């Protein structure tokens, strides 16, 4: 008489697989039943904003609707000429390392520290010198370019 081809381990694994599949089917059936019972409709999920900007479940009153004239709305984007005038800024060199070739400028308007590198200098500068420059954003933050000693 020959031995059975199926070992106990094989039988156990097959039983576990069958049990897992059965549990999966049961969970899926449960989800379907819960979806039908407690699922919210689209109207239940919609939220509205009232005139004060608060979220509410009721739609706003159409009688309180106000109409705005487009000409009265001002967009605060400065004209190109104004932006070009602002491009040249002034400041004071607060720190400059001649050996390493970098330093910082304190901006007169924003009091912000702006990085400077000697490759962007047009002449020789020292600490406490007043300079005129343009700001250019880099990966590490704002940097000064086209630096001229005043």
Q: How many structural domains are present in the chain?
A: 2
pLDDT given for residue 142 in this prediction: 87
Long-range contacts from 108-116, C-beta under 8 angstroms, 24+ separation: 112/142, 114/142, 114/143, 114/144, 115/140, 115/141, 115/142, 115/143, 115/144, 116/143, 116/144, 116/147
pLDDT given for residue 42 in this prediction: 77
Tell me if 130 is assigned to some domain: yes
pLDDT given for residue 121 in this prediction: 92
pLDDT given for residue 7 in this prediction: 85
pLDDT given for residue 65 in this prediction: 81
Q: Give 10-residue mean pLDDT values along the chain (150 residues).
A: 73 96 96 72 83 87 84 74 68 94 92 92 91 89 91
**Which CATH number does the domain housing residue 124 bear?**
2.40.50.140
Tell me if 63 is assigned to some domain: no
Residues 86 and 138 in one domain: yes
- Give the residue numbers spanning the domain of 116: 80-149
Residues 52 and 103 in one domain: no
pLDDT given for residue 39 in this prediction: 62
pLDDT given for residue 101 in this prediction: 92
pLDDT given for residue 81 in this prediction: 62
pLDDT given for residue 85 in this prediction: 54
Residues 85 and 141 in one domain: yes
């Amino acid at each position: 008489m020959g031995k059975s081809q199926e070992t106990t381990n094989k039988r156990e694994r097959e039983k576990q697989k069958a049990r897992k599949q059965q549990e999966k089917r049961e969970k899926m059936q449960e989800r379907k039943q819960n979806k039908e019972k407690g699922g919210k409709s689209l109207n239940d999920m919609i939220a509205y904003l009232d005139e004060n900007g608060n979220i509410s479940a009721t739609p706003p009153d159409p009688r309180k609707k106000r109409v705005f004239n487009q000409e009265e709305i001002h967009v605060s984007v400065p004209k190109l000429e104004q932006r070009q005038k602002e491009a040249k800024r002034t400041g004071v060199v607060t720190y400059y390392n001649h050996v390493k070739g970098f330093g910082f400028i304190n901006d007169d308007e924003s009091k912000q520290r702006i990085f400077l590198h000697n490759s962007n200098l047009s002449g020789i500068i020292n600490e406490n010198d007043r300079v005129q420059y343009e700001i250019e954003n880099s990966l590490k933050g704002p940097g000064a370019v086209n630096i001229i000693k005043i």
